[in-house]
Amino acid sequence: MSMDFNLYMNDLLRQARSEMEASGYEQLTTAEGVEEAFKRPGTTLVMVNSVCGCAGGIARPAAAHAVHYDKRPDHLVTVFAGQDKEATAQARMLFGEDHLPSSPSFALLKDGKLVAEVGRYEIEGHDPMSVVVNLQSQFEEFCEEV
Query: What is the rounded distance in angstroms from the CA atom of residue 16 to the CA atom of residue 56?
Result: 7
Task: Considering the candidates 20, 47, 54, 132, report the single residue annotated as catalytic.
Answer: 54
**Dihedral of CA 99/107/40/81: which sign?**
positive
Question: Catalytic one among 27, 35, 51, 52?
Answer: 52
Q: 143 an active-site residue?
A: no
SS (H, E, C) the chain: CCCCHHHHHHHHHHHHHHHHHHCCCEECCCHHHHHHHHCCCCEEEEEEECCCHHHHHHHHHHHHHHCCCCECCCEEEEEECCCCHHHHHHHHHHHCCCCCCCCCEEEEEECCEEEEEECHHHCCCCCHHHHHHHHHHHHHHHCCEC
Catalytic residues: 52, 54
